[in-house]
């Protein structure tokens, strides 16, 4: 049992992110197996996020838990569901999707600064993602702008490779911030991490990651959950992930046959 402490809950509410050492320590091998299976057999949303001639490899893929047993096991039976409910201060935790991100050694390209929320068709304040590395991470760790989950407007979503706007109308969004240019305006949180540690962050928290110039891989799995107040919302265009054929209407709870309620555990 990995209990989330009151101080961790407070930090998550205040900063939009908190590091949880060792939360998935017993699941590292399972996650490694799942990532390997995913990379050997990519899904329909798999992407290579480098242009021709750029060094390294930056692979990502999502929504594979229904075909990769390791991910199905982790999302429902690991400490994640209970931890998600505790951090969100929610009676329930409903699984949204899995996301694999791998940067091979010598990959200089950073993960762009972004919020997850505007890409998703979910609206609500009870949301959490767990970013779980299975390799020691120092300089390629997740970076989060402290308190950005409380900003009045969301940050403009962009496509990672094409670097163009995700939606046609950008008037409703803030420009993408650059904490490296304005560190005093955008204070960041970043942690050196060991395999099985996790960063929990709100869907609205602005985050990114440096390139991986280490001699080792940087493999990470993200697990995403929503709580009691999460509702479907229509965005300007297709979302990412798109979940075609979901048939949900504005204001509806996410359908539990697609997005299973994993806390409370019914077993």
Instruction: Using pLDDT thresholds of 50, 70 and 90, give the confidence band for residue 50.
Output: confident
Instruction: Provide the terminal-to-terminal Cα distance of the chain, rounded to the nearest Å.
Output: 16
The answer to whether residue 245 is domain-embedded is no
What is the structure's pLDDT at 1? 47
The answer to whether residue 241 is domain-embedded is no
The answer to whether residue 242 is domain-embedded is no
User: How many domains does the structure of the chain reveal?
Assistant: 1
We report the CATH number of the domain holding residue 47 as 2.60.120.620
Residues of the chain above pLDDT 90, percent: 78
Three-state DSSP at 103 gives strand
What is the structure's pLDDT at 205? 98
Compute the distance between CA of residue 97 and CA of residue 18 in angstroms, rounded to an integer: 20
Instruction: Using pLDDT thresholds of 50, 70 and 90, give the confidence band for residue 162.
Output: low
The answer to whether residue 264 is domain-embedded is no
pLDDT tens-digit map of 60-86: 999 999 999 999 999 999 999 999 999
**Mean pLDDT in residue range 161-172:** 67
Beta bridge partners of 193: 137
Residues 6+ apart with CB under 8 A from 113: 145, 155, 176, 177, 178, 179, 206, 207, 208
Residue pair 47/61 in contact (Cβ under 8 Å)? The answer is yes
What is the structure's pLDDT at 184? 95
**Mean pLDDT in residue range 115-124:** 94
Three-state DSSP at 185 gives coil
pLDDT at 255 over 50: yes
The answer to whether residue 90 is domain-embedded is yes
How do beta strands 93-103 and 261-263 pair?
antiparallel
19, containing H or E segment: strand 17-20
The answer to whether residue 266 is domain-embedded is no
Both tokens of residue 23?
């939360």
The answer to whether residue 258 is domain-embedded is no
The answer to whether residue 38 is domain-embedded is yes
Residue pair 24/103 in contact (Cβ under 8 Å)? The answer is no
What is the structure's pLDDT at 159? 73
Please report how the helices 80-88 and 6-15 are oriented relative to each other, as an axis angle in degrees rounded to 10: 60
CA-wise closest residue to 130 among 53, 210, 46, 207? 207
What is the structure's pLDDT at 109? 87
User: Computed from CA positions of residues 148, 122, 77, 133, in that sequence, does the dihedral angle turn out positive or negative?
Assistant: negative
Instruction: Give the range of the structural domain holding residue 159, as residue numbers without chain letter.
Output: 6-231
pLDDT at 41 over 60: yes
User: pTM to 2 decimals?
Assistant: 0.94
What is the structure's pLDDT at 148? 98
């Amino acid at each position: 049992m990995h209990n989330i402490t009151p101080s961790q809950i407070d930090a998550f509410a205040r900063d939009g992110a908190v590091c949880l050492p060792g939360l998935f320590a017993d699941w590292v091998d399972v996650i490694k197996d799942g990532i390997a299976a995913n990379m050997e057999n990519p899904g329909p949303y798999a992407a290579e996020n480098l242009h021709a001639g750029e060094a390294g490899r930056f692979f990502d893929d999502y929504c594979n838990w229904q075909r990769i047993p390791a991910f199905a096991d982790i999302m429902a039976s690991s400490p994640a569901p209970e931890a998600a409910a505790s951090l969100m201060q929610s009676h329930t935790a409903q699984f949204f999707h899995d996301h694999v991100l791998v940067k091979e050694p010598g990959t200089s390209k950073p993960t762009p600064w972004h919020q997850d929320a505007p890409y998703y068709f979910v609206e609500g304040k009870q949301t959490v993602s767990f970013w779980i590395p299975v390799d020691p991470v120092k300089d390629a760790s997740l970076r989060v702008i402290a308190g950005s989950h409380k900003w009045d407007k969301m940050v403009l979503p962009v496509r990672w490779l094409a670097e163009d706007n995700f939606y046609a109308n950008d008037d409703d969004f803030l420009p993408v911030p650059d904490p490296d240019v304005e560190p005093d305006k955008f204070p960041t949180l970043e942690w050196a991490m060991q395999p099985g540690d996790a960063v929990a962050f709100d869907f609205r928290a602005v985050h990114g990651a440096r390139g991986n110039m280490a001699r080792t891989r940087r493999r990470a799995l993200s697990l995403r959950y929503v709580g009691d107040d999460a509702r479907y919302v229509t965005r300007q265009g297709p979302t990412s992930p798109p979940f075609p054929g979901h048939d949900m209407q504005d204001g509806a709870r996410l359908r539990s046959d697609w997005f299973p309620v994993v806390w409370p555990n019914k077993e």
